[in-house]
Amino acid sequence: MIVLPGGVRRYPGYLDRAEQEALVEVIRQVVSVAPLYVPVMPRSGQPMSVRMTNCGMLGWVTDRDRGYRYQETHPVTGAPWPPLPPRLMEIWRDVGETPLEPEACLVNFYSDEARMGLHQDRDEREFSAPVVSISLGNACLFRIGGLERKDRTTSVRLESGDIVVLGGDSRLLFHGVDRIYPNTSTLLKNGGRINLTLRRVNPAQ
C-alpha cells in the first residue's frame, strides 16, 4: 500500500489477472440485468462520456431534472439494482477500514475516449466510510486535488487491478480521470476501462 498526496491510499496490483477476469465476469452479469446507460448532467442535460450502472441496495444516478442522487432502482428499466457481489463486499472489508457495510457500487465504463471531470463524491450522507475504487482494463490518468476545486493537483497512472481508497482526510478530495491509455491492457476485449466505486450512503441505523 502506498499513501498518495492528501492521504489517498493506493494498492497497486491488488487484483491479479485471474481475479480481474473473475471480476469482469461478475460485472458482465450485473450489466446483463442492469444495462449501462448514458447519464446526463443536472440542468444542462449534457451527456457524460462515461456509461454507468450500479449494483447494491442503492445506485448513484444523475439526470437533467433531478440531479445527482442515490436511488433503489435503475433509471431506465425501473428494476431494483442487482445485489452487491460477495467478492466486492470482501474487498471493501479488506481495504475499507470501516465497520460499516457498503450500500452502493457505481459501475463506470469508459471508452478509450471517455473522461471524467474533476469532482467530489459528496452525495452520500455518511463520510466516515471511504470510497473504494477498483480499476479494470486500460490504464488511466487519475488526478487528485484538494478540498477546493482550485487546489493544486497531482496525477497518477492507475493500472488494471489497482485499488484506490478515498477515506479519512482524503474522503472529500476533488478527483477525476483525464484520459484513458488505449491498448495498455488485454483484459477487456474491446478496450476501454471499467471503474467500480463502492460507497456507504447512509449513516449506521
Interface with ligand SIN (CB under 6 A): 108, 116, 133, 142, 175, 177, 195, 197
Instruction: Tell me the three cell numbers of residue 156.
Output: 497518477
Instruction: Tell me the three cell numbers of residue 77.
Output: 428499466
Question: Which of 115, 144, 141 lies closest to 131, judged by CA?
Answer: 144
- Per partner kind, with CB cut-offs from 5 to 8 A, the member of ligand SIN, Fe ion, none near residue 108 is ligand SIN
Q: Which residue, 85 or 145, is less far from ligand SIN as judged by CB?
A: 145
Q: Which residue, 74 or 174, is less far from ligand SIN as judged by CB?
A: 174
Question: By CB under 5 A, which span of 34-42, 44-52, 58-66, 114-122 interacts with Fe ion?
Answer: 114-122
Other residues' Cβ atoms within 10 Å of the Cβ of residue 187: 19
> Should residue 103 be labelled a site residue for Fe ion when binding is judged by CB under 5 A?
no
Question: Which of 53, 24, 26 lies closest to 38, judged by CA?
Answer: 53
Shortest distance (Å) from residue 140 CB to ligand SIN: 6
Question: Which of 45, 39, 48 lies closest to 65, judged by CA?
Answer: 45
**Contact between residue 81 and residue 74 where contact means Cβ atoms under 8 Å apart:** yes
Question: By CB under 5 A, which span of 15-23, 120-128, 135-143, 186-194 interacts with Fe ion?
Answer: 120-128
Give the separation between CA 144 and CA 8, rounded to whole angstroms. Answer: 9
Question: Which of 37, 75, 40 lies closest to 59, judged by CA?
Answer: 75
- Give the footprint of Fe ion on residues 130-169 (CB under 5 A): none
Shortest distance (Å) from residue 18 CB to Fe ion: 28
From 55, 81, 92, 121, residue interacting with Fe ion (rule: CB under 5 A): 121
- Per partner kind, with CB cut-offs from 5 to 8 A, the member of Fe ion, ligand SIN, none near residue 91 is none
- Burial code (b: 16+ CB inside 10 Å, e: under 16) for 164-186 equals bbbbeebbbbbbbbebbeeebbe
- Per partner kind, with CB cut-offs from 5 to 8 A, the member of ligand SIN, Fe ion, none near residue 199 is none
Q: Which residue, 32 or 137, is less far from Fe ion as judged by CB?
A: 137
- Chain residues in the site for Fe ion (CB under 5 A): 121
